[in-house]
Every structure is written in structure tokens, then in C-alpha cells.
Structure 1
Amino acid sequence: MKKRIYLVILGFFIIISLGPISCSDSESRMSPLLNQATVILSIGLPPEDPSAYNNSLGNKIRRFFVPDAIAQTAPASFSSILVRVSGPDFGVMEQTFGPSGTVSLSVPSGNFRQFEVIAAIASGDPSAALSFRGTAVANLPAGETVSIPVLMGLNETKIVVPDYYNNRIVTIDSMTGANWNARATLGSTSVTQPTDVSFDARGRIYISLNSTNGVIRADNSNGTNATPAFGAGGLQTIAVDRTNNILYYASSGALYKNSLDGTNEQSLLNFAPITAIYGIDVYSNGLLLIVGTGVISTVTPSYIILYDPNAGSRSGQTVVGQYTSASLNTPWDVMTVPPYIYVANLGGGANNQILRFSLDSNNSFIPQGNYGTFGTTATPGIFYGARRFLAIRNDALIIADSNTISLSQLISISDISGANWTPFGTHGSLINQFKLWAVC
């Protein structure tokens, strides 16, 4: 009690010693405080077991108001955290912080403050992720401290290459080959004939194998916590729905849906007119994009279809959109990069190795550009055979490019015009070499 009295008295004398203060002086000194709010951002990744993640409305509300409800704090491998804040009355402010599970900053008070958080992974870390991203919106009362949980998800990845004939997975940070990491086994499972790679929201790696092994999941490119292979074998392609935590994979003639831990495999049916699946990806609304070929009499046309993986359970239409044309020839892969859909058109002729589409409100595929010509010379714009999209990047498309058993490389382009064409790698089994899949 005495201490409190002394503090009050001391404060009183400090105020007196400052001399007379006018109302205008007081208002100007208090104004910065009254116009600011202190924000504490609690940053976390999705839970390791998505089935434990209660996504009910009540739990969403609880997570919004209780910062400790975030499933897991940011890993120590974050090297930096960039926070962007915007509002209708002050534009955009940015601030960079060191690695931490929580970030505190002062923000202009007001309504509809939008937060974007990007956490970069430290160089040399074995994670397949390059960065994670999360967003939040909040109203900030003046002079108050507001805690805001931000659930992060995968933003960009390193380049993870299914090196088919070398029976290994290769991870590099960039098209310079930085931090080359080649693995022939992940955990106790051999990486035999890897065909495709995908990632979940935590940045874990999922690899489809053309051998009898099926799917391997690992926390990172070192194989930490790698699962024994699960699911059907002879796989051609794989994709993860990072919003709904669902795993999809396919052999040439069969399509499967599974939980992320591989314990609930289900066959999906009715993807005609495609009879041979080459590539799949998840569209932004949870539907699947599938590319492949069909059979009509003696002709083998190629297709892109938009497929509803949940329609079968409610006796609905599974194929809700499709596209075919003379320029679409043995499409080997498909990738969603909103607002566009890209197709690696393996058999495409002049200026048709990479195709770009948009999807309208009627689920019709609208051509939006094309690029690249088939050939065997190491020249910008010439593909040996565009086969797989690798990595999730905001600044480029990374393409596995191969045709015969002796031609393999990676290609990076920044847009459908082929800008910033960058090749990497040659054919072989050493560092900076690949033997990519080259069988139709």
C-alpha cells in the first residue's frame, strides 16, 4: 500500500514540475497514443493431424478470440517474418521481425485492418518450404491491445524433383542448384521410380511412385518422419488439397482419394472421357483438374476435365467441365496458378508446349495463351518435352523437361510469354544432373 501511495505522489510531482500544460498541448501529446493500437500476432501452422482440427463455427470463433488456440507455434527454422498491414485510411505499412511464434507491433487504430504475414524459411533448412503465409482481418480500438491469431499455410516451396530413372528425390532451393539434396531412400522406403510430388499446408512432401510402393510422405527432404509407403502402386501423379486436407493420386486408369496419413483410401469413379490419366491438380474450389487421353474409335483425343470428387457420394455429375482441341496433345500435367490453369502439353507442336486457360462461370475452359515448341536443341523456347510442373512459386513456373532417355533438364519461365527463360541441369546421375521420366 505504501508503494502505491509513493508512486502516486511521485507522479504528481513530475506533472507539476513540467509546468503548465494547455489543453492543446495535452491533446497533441496524447493524439499518437489515441490513434494507435498494439497488435500481438500469434503465428501458427496447421496441426500435424488435420483430423484433430475442429473446424466448426464455434471453434472458428474461439480461435479468433483466443490466441493460444493456434495449433502449433512457428518452427525455429523461420529466418524472418514480414508483416504487411493495410487499411482504407492509411495505405500499406511493412515491418520485418526475427523468428518468433508471436509478433508485437503498433498499428493505426480503426476498422478493417488487414494483416498479411510471410515467414521465410532459413537457408539450408531441410524443409521443402521456402515460406509460409497467413492473413487476418481485425478492428482495432484506439489505445487497446488486440491479440490476433494467424494460421499460416504453405506459400512457396523449393524445387523438389522426381528423378525417375535415378530412383531418387532431389531438392534444390533455386534454379542455381543451391543446397542440392538427393535422397534414394526416405525413412525405410526406397524412392523407386518417383513420378510426381505434392505438398500439404505444413510443407510436408508427398511422392507418388510408379513401383509397387505407392505414396511416401515425409516432413522434409531429409526424410524426417517418413511414412512407410501406403496406397495403390503404379502411380502416375499426385496432388494435395491443402484447404480440405485431402490427398489425391492416380495410376493411368484409376483415381484415388485418401486422408493425409494414408489410412482412408477410396476409389473415385466416372472420369470419362479420360481413360488414361497423366496429371491432376486441385482447383481453388476443391474440384479436381485432370488431364489425359481417351479413346474414340481409332483416335486418341486429349482432354482437360474439371471433376467433382464428392459427386459420386451424392449421385451427382462428376465431370462438370471439359476441354479438347487439336492443339491439346498428350497433356502430361496440370497446375492451378490463380486465376489461371497451366497445362504441360507434352505432345504439343509449335508454340503449344505450355498452354494457359481460365475457367468461366459455366466451367468452360477459355484459352489464354500458349508457349514453347518441341525440339532437341538447348535454345530458349525449345522444350525436349514439357512433362511436369515442379514447386509452388509466385514468380515462375518450374517445368521438368525431358523426351528421350538422354535429354533431361529443368526450365523456369516467369509467364506464358516465356520471359526469363532459365534452364538448369543436364542428363546424368551426378550433382546437377537428372534422368527424368521420358515414357509416354
Structure 2
Amino acid sequence: MRIKIIIINNMLIFIFLFFLLYSNFISRIIGYNLNALFYLSFLLLLIYSLRKYFLNKIIIFQLFIVLFFAIYIFDTSFDFSANLLTIKDFIVPLLCLGIGMFFTENKLTAINYLNILYLFFIAYGIIQEVCFYTGYFYFLPWDVNYSELCIANGVVNIYQGNLLRFFGMMNSSIEYQVFVSMIPLFLLLNYNVIVNKRIFIINFILSILFLTFSFERSPIIMFLIVLIIWKFKDVLKFKNFIIVCFMVLTIFTFINYNIDFLLNNEYTKYAYQRLINGLFLKYNEDAAILERNNLQWKISKDIATKEFFGIGPGRITPSASEYKGYIGPHNNFLAFYLAYGIVGLILFLIFILFIIMRLSKIKNNFKLFGYGIIVSFFAMAMFNMPFSGKQGIIFYMLLGYLINEPLSQTIVPLSSKSTLKLKESM
């Protein structure tokens, strides 16, 4: 019986991770949408995990928020089909917290499956970059067809030409780059349980190369935020500090040596300037930030001051962008406010606070990593929608994994005889 349970667990984990990473990519190649298979695998794993964690206090509060969000689907002030899309964009990611907790219980399987599946995932991103920069993009006909289809449908914000990713166009809100910034660090956090460490090393190196040549600021800044918060104390050690200084000096030397190319090449000049603006907080000189401040944020704030109970999620959810009346706030906090009102936003923030409180009780390494995840996604949420879609899935899934880690333990003296007892931190 136990062997049967292990086999089922392993199968569900593999299928979910496989379709999470590859459903969009395979759909482009074969011409048929396989996302239904991903959501089916999600549903099976969700049911399996809820049976185990249904009485968990955080899960109970999560289900309350899901119910609150679900009620808004029946808002009659906007198209019902657009409201239904909020299930995919807002509710499914939120429910992945329990799936992350399930992964903690099956750590060896989940981490090693992810390590293996991620190899081709990141390798293909490198292949896309090579084809793009060398001009041989037509070696990837399914990507070209997808690009032309998007252009025909009116998509005009194809960043750096037609360079594509598994989940769509390359821009600051794309899921693929968020995955590339989070998954390698998550694997590094669990390095001790990785069986094939050579594959992990290859994965990590390819991820750094991909982020370097993608020049997209949001995932790069998110990567740095998590790394700094997580490893800040380790960096202060003399040996590590010297290594980090050498790496930073090498990167700056490389950039300085190629500065003319970066500033004048049509593929890199805008991306490089956006990255510099983001790293040095030069938002008053950033065209994208100025446009949002003068248009999307202004409109969203004007509506927010008048609609305290929201205007309905169908107007906000990214998947409903083609519907008449859609509002793209480019700010996830504003989006929750507009979609579900002040109550919905407060519920979300309380939920994150509960997660932070739980993180504070686990061992330091995982705790700091969790803090880094939250800070990086919150920073991105000021400008984009990282709590929705597959970005949201990776956010909640990682946090679910972390909060299910064992509580940290402290040594407490019981008597003057130096008797020690391990006491669970509360």
C-alpha cells in the first residue's frame, strides 16, 4: 500500500511540473492547446494535497480568500466570461500554496524532478537567444508562427523584436524569465537533496547566461533581491566578500568594454537603459514608468478613490485584456483593490502577513529565502502583475514549500547541570 502511495505521489508531481514548464511550449509546436492538461494535473494534485492540509490554519484562511474571490465571478456589471478568466489568473495560483506544502512532504522527488525537467527548459531559452542574436530565428518555425499570430492579433509590445519564451512575448511581466530567476535559487536552497548535482550546476550556469543576455530588468532585479536577502550574512564573510567583489568587478569590466555595443545595438540599447534605470532607481527618466504614472496608474487611482468595493475582477484580469472595458493597472496591489475592493486587498495582505509569521519560525536559511521571495515579488508587483498566472503559481508554490518546513529549534537549559533540551520555537 505504501509503495502504491509513493508511486501515485511521484506520478502526480512529475505530471504537474512537466505541464507547468512545457504545456505552452508543446502547444506552440503541435498547434493544439495543452493547457487543459496542466489544469487537470493541478486539480488532481490540489485534491490530493487538500486531503492532507485541509485543517492547516493558513490553508483555511486561503480557502476563505478563494471563496471571497469566487463570489466576485458572479458580478453582473461585466462580462461573465471575463470574470471566469479570474479563476485561471488569480484563484489557481493562490491554491498552489497547498501544492507547495505537498512538495515539502515529498522533497526528494519534487526537487530532483524539477532539477531534471528544468534542464531543457533553460537550454531552450539559450537556444532562442542564440538564434535571435545571430539572426537565425527561423530555425524555430513554431516560435515564428506564434510571433506572427500575436502580431496579427494586435500585440505591439514585442520586446527586442520577436524574441519569444515558453509562455509568450519577452517583456517585464513574462513568466519564463521569472521562472528562470526563481527556480535556480530554489534548487540551490535544496542543494543537499539534489542527486545529480552536475545537472544543477549546468542549470545554474545557463540561467545566469540567459538572464545576462535577456537584459530584462524585472527578473534580474528579483534574482538579486532574493540572493542579497538570503545570502547577505554569508557575503560579509571575508573570503566570500572577495569572491563577490571579483565577480562584480568582472561584470562591470565586461559591460564597460562593450558599452558602445549595448548603447547602440537596436536589440540591446532600450533593454540596457531600462535595466540601468531599474538598478539605480532612475524612474523619473524611465519611459515605461512615466507612461504608467501618467496613464494606467492615474486612471486606476482615479477609479480606486470612487469604488471602495471594486469594479469586478473581469475588468482587471490579464487574460481578459481583449474585452471592451478592460483596465490594465500594471500594479498588482491596485489590481486587487479594483477587482475585489478594499476588503479583498486587505485579505490578501493579511494572508501574506500570516505567511511571514510562519516563515519567522522556521530555520534561518529557509526563512531568509522566503523573505527574499516576498520582497522581490512585492517589488515587481508595484509595476506588474506577478501574483497572477504562472508567475503567481511559482510565488505561492515556493512559499507553500517553505512554510511547511519544520520549525526551527533552540537549545534551552533545564537546570544548573547544563542539561539541554530541544524546544520548538513558537
Give yes or no for TM over 0.5.
no
Q: TM-score, normalised by structure 2?
A: 0.25
Q: Which has the higher helix share?
A: 2
* Larger radius of gyration between Structure 1 and Structure 2: 1
Q: TM-score, normalised by structure 1?
A: 0.25
Tell me which of the two structures has the higher relative contact order, counting C-alpha pairs closer than 8 angstroms and 6 or more residues apart: 2
